[in-house]
A and B are shown apart, each in its own frame.
Chain A
Amino acid sequence: MELSINHYALWTGLFGGLALFLFGMDLMTGALKRAAGDYLKEILGRLTRNRFMGVGVGALITGIVNSSSVTTVILVGFISAGLLSMTQSISVIMGANIGSTVTAQILAFKVTEFSLPLIAVGVLIAALANRNVWRDYGHMLLGFGLVFYGMGLMSDSMAPLRSYPSFTEFVASLLNPYAAILVGTAFTAVIQSSAATTGIIIMLAGQGLMTLETAIAIALGANIGTCATAGLTVIGKPREAVRAAVVHVLFNVAGVLVWVSFIPQLADLARLITPTVDGLSTATRHAAEIPRQIANAHTIFNIANTLLFIGFTTQFARLVEWIVPDRPLSEMELLPPRFLDASLLSTPAIALGNVRLEIGRLGEYVHDMLQKAMPAAVSQSSRDLDVLEELDKPADDLHREILAYLGKISLTSLSAIEGRTLMRLAEVANDLEHVADRIATDIVTSARKRIVARVQLPPTALKPVMRLHGEVAAALRESVKAVVNNDDVLAAEVRAMKREVGLMTQQIESESVKRLSTAPKAGLTSYVREVELIEILDGIFKLARRIARSQLTVKISEGTPTKE
């Protein structure tokens, strides 16, 4: 056979068409998310209380946005925020597979004919719209049009492949269902769109380049490959979110395992239920019927899998909890009060002494957080910042426990000086909690902005900032020590650090300005972040001085605190 294939036309048509398809999907999905996202999220939050509703919600959302990946990414976000549980998400994930069949059904129409009108109308609406929502509707139509147009381009460019032996041999090798599944999985994982894979096989089969059986096997593979998106999304997320992604993989792999031996039967069933097109030659009829047969087979196996597995959501949950166990509760995550002994409430003086010891533990913890904050803030690592952010919760918990205990002490009969001590200790606990908050929110937010803007602290700035950080940490440590030991001299020393730290801050700020004037463009973002960091550290120093002042304000005779 004479080979007269135009490689340039083939590859540009194929990849250009695929690029338009993916860009169109992206445009359409983005517009749909903006236009209907809030409603979809509300539906998801409200209606996932029983598994059948979950399936319905998953199918609806996926059907509307045309992407099961979007549904799973939304789910992961919800689970990470604690709004939805992994067990609730299982049925939604199952529903998402059903929803994804809508796209295949739409693509099986001879959609390429509508592509240019859709693009024209979409652009017109988006251009004329004076409200965002209409612009989004315009983009949806434009996105749809581009998807169809991309499919048309791929289809036209690949038509000559029919007479290209290497390609027909490759497709023939896919008669082995395992090979076809593998190709479907890998291709979908790489382009991150099962709709694109389905679109391509519909188009190839329509050109007579692929049998229905091979197309079904590739579509099954696409179901596995589509899990890759959720898999990438959950990196660094809480365990529950990771479990949801694993459920997605398990369900889709199990579904494929169920069908892999029955592909010919599934193909026969699809042929049986798909209306035939009369009055055409065999080859033309085949080309006209096969896209719908693929879409129908895709719909059948996805609905059948959900029906098959919906009764086993509990077992899925158990299995996935076994596969993905919890991270260990470290001593840091669990900071139970050690000195807040209820039996001491009858002797308030001793109870207050023990509160000082407990504040010492909180102070030590917050000081530790501050020590870890600077390396995490300059490491440019999101993971380090996640860890730092999580450290705030135990501090919050212990702070709450201390306040609750102080509340109980306040109900007992206190002397005037004990009453004042109680107020001051509550202030100290609050200030320590504020320090933890400033670390977990302000320092983390500033560092995240630096990561996004890709600016690092210049080495010349790093050293003085680290020195300032060291001074602030020392002030915090000493002020807490002053409260724990009821040591006024030490508290006064912390108060006296004001001048020294003030000078240091001024010096660093003036150096930053100098750097800005020498490299005004490149240095502006870096300068803003640097000043922000210095202000946060200064804020923490002020809180440390307030703690020392609280100590100085009280003249106490509470008795010796009991040691553990």
Chain B
Amino acid sequence: MTNANQPETRGKGGVNGDSQGTLLVAVDFSKDSREAVLWASREAEHLGCGLMILHVVHDPASSPGFYRHVEVDWLRPMADLAREMMDVFLRETRAAHPSLTALATAEAKLVTGLPASRIVEVAKSINAPLIVIGSRGRTGLTHILLGSVAERVVQLAPMPVVVVKGHEEGNGTVH
């Protein structure tokens, strides 16, 4: 594990550090995701590149009804609810960190599909030098059976992937 606050640490492929491409951070609106966004914003500013915040609309198999956790009009499509969650997530994160310019100007994107493969697909399409993703730590049997989206992304992505853990603020793992 490497301290991800040191941007010179590189995984396979390396990060160019120029303004080519857009850094991609994938979120599921969790605490870990918030940390991932903050880390990615600082990194984007450091690299001088843009930032895309991506959410893949997908109801997780382990907790169906992810988008309907609050009382809402059940006739609203999940993608609409996801967009609303993204808006709230961005508004709150930006309000808490007004100094992060990359965060203020980041593009928010929603696509539907299976999270891991979609994240990698989007990253490739925007020439992302790096994918940043929050890790929801699963342990024990659940971990063995299911793994995590972050792990799948690490397996699939041709570019470096940074996995950020929420409870160890500022720390991430470069794969």
Contact = CB atoms under 8 A, between A and B. Distances in A.
Contacts, number: 89
A81 interface: yes
A86 B113 contact: no
B98 interface: no
A341 B101 CA distance: 12
B118 A329 contact: yes
Interface string B60-101: 111011111000001111111000000000000000000001
Interface in A45-67: 45-46, 48-51, 54
B78 A85 contact: yes
Interface stretch (A115-123, A184-192, A312-320): A312-320
Given A82-B77, A88-B65, A336-B126, A325 B145 contact: no
Contacts of A329: 111, 113, 118, 121-122, 125
A334 B122 contact: yes
B111 A313 contact: no
A50 B62 CA distance: 11
Contacts of B104: 342
A42 B62 contact: no
A226 interface: no
B3 interface: no
A54 B76 CA distance: 19
B75 A45 contact: yes
Contacts of B60: 87
B52 A336 contact: yes
A2 interface: no
A81 B60 CA distance: 18
B30 interface: no
A135 to B, nearest CB: 27
Interface string A313-338: 11101100100011011010110110
Given A48-B65, A88-B59, A342-B105, A315 B145 contact: yes
A1 interface: no
Contacts of A452: none
A317 B74 contact: no
Interface in B32-77: 50, 52, 58-62, 64-68, 74-77
A83 B145 contact: no
A141 B104 CA distance: 64
A63 to B, nearest CB: 22
B83 to A, nearest CB: 10
Interface in A277-325: 313-315, 317-318, 321, 325
A170 B80 CA distance: 56
B12 interface: no
Contacts of B107: 336-337, 340, 401
Contact of A314 (B62, B80, B109, B122): B62
A432 to B, nearest CB: 19
A314 B61 contact: yes
A91 B65 CA distance: 12
B117 interface: yes
Interface residues of A, number: 41
Contact of B64 (A81, A88, A328, A337): A88
A441 B76 CA distance: 20
B65 A45 contact: no
A87 B126 CA distance: 30
A326 B118 contact: yes
Contacts of B109: 336
Contact of A318 (B64, B76, B105, B146): B146
A325 to B, nearest CB: 7
B61 A318 contact: yes
Given A326-B113, A329-B122, A334-B122, A85 B74 contact: no
Interface string A501-517: 00000000000000000
Contact of B59 (A45, A81, A87, A336): A87
B64 A49 contact: yes
A225 B59 CA distance: 28
Given A45-B75, A341-B50, A334 B111 contact: yes
A88 B78 CA distance: 12
Nearest to B22: A336
A331 B76 CA distance: 27
Contacts of A334: 111, 122, 125
A317 to B, nearest CB: 3
A50 B65 CA distance: 8
B67 to A, nearest CB: 8
B75 A342 contact: no
Contacts of B80: 82
Given A88-B65, A336-B125, A326 B59 contact: no
Contacts of A336: 52, 107, 109, 125-126
Nearest to A329: B121
15 contacts: A42-B74, A50-B65, A51-B64, A82-B78, A83-B74, A91-B64, A314-B62, A315-B145, A326-B118, A328-B121, A329-B121, A333-B111, A337-B107, A342-B104, A343-B105
CB-based closest 8 A-B pairs: A342-B105, A85-B59, A82-B77, A317-B61, A45-B74, A49-B65, A326-B113, A87-B64
Given A81-B77, A82-B77, A340-B107, 16 more contacts: A45-B75, A50-B65, A82-B78, A83-B77, A85-B64, A85-B67, A87-B59, A90-B64, A313-B61, A314-B62, A321-B114, A328-B121, A334-B122, A336-B125, A341-B50, A342-B50
